[in-house]
Amino acid sequence: MWTLCFDCEGVLIPEIWLEVQRRTGLEELKITTREEPDYDKLMNFRIDVLKKNNIKLQDMRDAVAAMSPLPGAVEMLASLHNTCPRIVILTDTFENYAQPMFNKLGQFTVFCHSLQIDNDGFIEKHLLRLTDQKRKAVESLQGLKFKCIAIGDSFNDISMLKAAEVGILFRPSEKVKQAHPEFPVIEDHAELRRYIEEVIHTGKAPQNAHKAG
Residues annotated as part of the active site:
7, 9
Backbone angles phi, psi at 43, to 5 degrees: -70, -40
Distances (CA, A) of 64 to 54, 157, 190: 18, 22, 25
**Rounded CA gap, 195 and 83, in Å?**
12
DSSP structural state of residue 149: E
Select from 41, 42, 39, 17 the least CA-distant residue to 29. 17
**Rounded CA gap, 135 and 112, in Å?**
13
